[in-house]
Chain A
């Protein structure tokens, strides 16, 4: 028999879009488990939310009330008047479940469950998981997590997480969905260091309610998003994920995915060759390729791919022009580019004569161009040479390789070269940490900068092949 009350509530259940609109631009956030005690999750969530400059209303919820982080706390969610866009749960699991029951009675759009102790805890979490599922059956709100690291949206100064790995990100074209909070942190920190802008990050945790496919659909279709980066271990609605990805990549967006872990069902006995030949990993690669998803073997390669795609510049072909301040790195970059299926063609006569004005006789103006150490004394030479190579009609992608940089002008000239062309430019800067120069001019422009030829090759592979694999 259907409980009439259940029916009524199920009708009230918000759509994914309604809920996530509220999540990413919230007016009111309640933090359950807000605390004054350093080391508690709720303390970290509240402190990060404040320090990242969120301008909406923050309401700490703590049974002893009082003032926390300079904000007046309520003793319970029920004391809050009016609708609540987001409730963050940062308490032990028992308290979190009680709060979820309260949320089901109130006007809440989204709950972000940082709390752990559900299905991921195996048998110990089983009872909590059952109770959670019962609550969700009747809830009108949507749930992110539980057991997740939170949600970040730089454009809204929104930092709903206990982890400082997501601090100081700038708004931009990359959306990230991760079933692992720690990997989300790793990838966010590296993207941030390279100046790659972030539209939103969701650590999706156990995905009891909102799944990676829901989030891909919503974030991928956001006009601000150019690239979606996904770390997934188990796709619960894999077919929908694939179909959404196909639709997004057809529309010109990029989806880069890392698939971690092996399916537990993989060892099930099979009766046919098909069963044995279509193993989990092969099927994932095949379906990703078919639907236009770029599969990265691990998270750092994924970051490399996203770095290149985020700049929004599409190459017209696979011909690469390489300039380097040293022969060796130019050779390594050439080898990697060629083995990834790129051409490193001889440059046009006019390009070679333009380069000859800067390159001494013991260098090389063919491709890869060896500028030699003479450019260290002439800080704008590398930039001018990059412009010349990018200008060559036979070059689709230009790569500049530099080591240590003695002068800020050096970087500024590279940034100018980037501005002078619409072609994709990659920079390999092996000695950023030993340079008397800041890379800010490059970060501001989201110029893809890598610390080695191999990492740049991952970016290169992603640029040319909107399908395929990067390692």
Chain B
């Protein structure tokens, strides 16, 4: 199946919110790095992904810094509390220098847009995201990591190592193209956070969410 066919099958199945595990599978197929799954050693993240509970932390469905064994026990416990979910055990990303949010949506006036800015808990604190029309060309994506207050963080504040802005710009461009091509099926797509490593070391999408467009018959019912 192509990524678009996957989206279509989800759409046909009536899914509205596509949970993290499935969203990451799809992102990986369009060339976006995601964390290694089910590692045999090292520190892990344990999650339970469920379309009905996109805000996992609110329901205690994310646990960090576990051993692989602990992670298995944790996900088993979560699965009991929330039947129908998909368990996810991933390598915990510890080498990042910046957490970024990348999102796409259809604006009522201008159509597909892409947004990039300080992510993780910082989205709650500051309003520093850069916004462009989607699809964003590589050159435009490059300007998004070099403009606005966020650019200073990526360049390395107070002697910190600069982040891999090239990899981040590539991700922005890639996801914006994918979104714009499939905006009839997707209403929002978001990676939050992207863990950006130091320059030259790449990045990894730590969490992701896809919101599908309402099916056409549902849209008609709305209006």
Contact = CB atoms under 8 A, between A and B. Distances in A.
Interface of A: 234-235, 238-239, 242, 263, 265-266, 270-275, 277-278, 280, 282-284, 286-287, 290-291
Given A238-B110, A263-B108, A277 B132 contact: no
B211 interface: yes
A238 B132 CA distance: 14
B79 interface: no
Given A238-B111, A274-B103, A280-B107, 6 more contacts: A277-B103, A277-B127, A282-B131, A283-B110, A286-B131, A287-B133
Interface string B125-139: 001011111000000
Interface in B72-122: 101, 103-105, 107-111, 113, 115, 117
B66 interface: no
Given A270-B188, A274-B101, A290 B132 contact: yes
Binding site secondary structure of chain A: helix
Nearest to B55: A271
Contact of B211 (A265, A271, A283): A271
Contacts of A277: 101, 103, 115, 117, 123, 127, 129
Contacts of A239: 110-111, 133
B68 interface: no
B162 interface: no
Contacts of A235: 109-110
9 contacts: A263-B108, A266-B108, A271-B17, A271-B188, A272-B190, A272-B192, A274-B101, A275-B105, A290-B133
Nearest to A265: B108
Contacts of A284: 109
B188 A280 contact: no
Interface string B119-159: 00001000101111100000010000000000000000000
Contacts of B54: 271
A268 to B, nearest CB: 8
B205 interface: no
A273 B132 contact: no
A242 B110 contact: yes
B123 A280 contact: no
Nearest to A291: B133
B131 A283 contact: yes
Contacts of B189: 274
Contacts of A272: 103, 105, 188, 190, 192, 209, 211
A54 to B, nearest CB: 37
Contacts of A278: 103, 105, 107, 113, 115, 129, 131
A44 B209 CA distance: 59
Nearest to A271: B211
A279 to B, nearest CB: 9
B130 to A, nearest CB: 7
Contacts of A283: 107, 109-110, 113, 131
Nearest to B119: A273
A244 to B, nearest CB: 12
Given A242-B133, A282-B131, A287-B131, A273 B101 contact: yes
A229 B110 CA distance: 19
Contacts of B104: 274
Interface string B177-196: 00000000000111010000
Contacts of B133: 239, 242, 287, 290-291
B181 to A, nearest CB: 15
A280 B111 contact: no
Nearest to A290: B132
A287 B136 CA distance: 12
Nearest to B103: A274
A238 B188 contact: no
A283 to B, nearest CB: 5
Contact of A238 (B17, B109, B117, B192): B109
Contact of A273 (B107, B109, B140, B192): B192
Given A286-B130, A287-B131, A275 B107 contact: no
A245 to B, nearest CB: 11
Counting from the closest, the 9 A-B pairs by CB-CB distance are A274-B103, A286-B131, A238-B109, A272-B190, A239-B111, A238-B110, A265-B108, A272-B188, A283-B107
Interface in B189-209: 189-190, 192, 209
A82 B111 CA distance: 44
A280 B131 CA distance: 11
B17 A286 contact: no
A283 B17 CA distance: 24
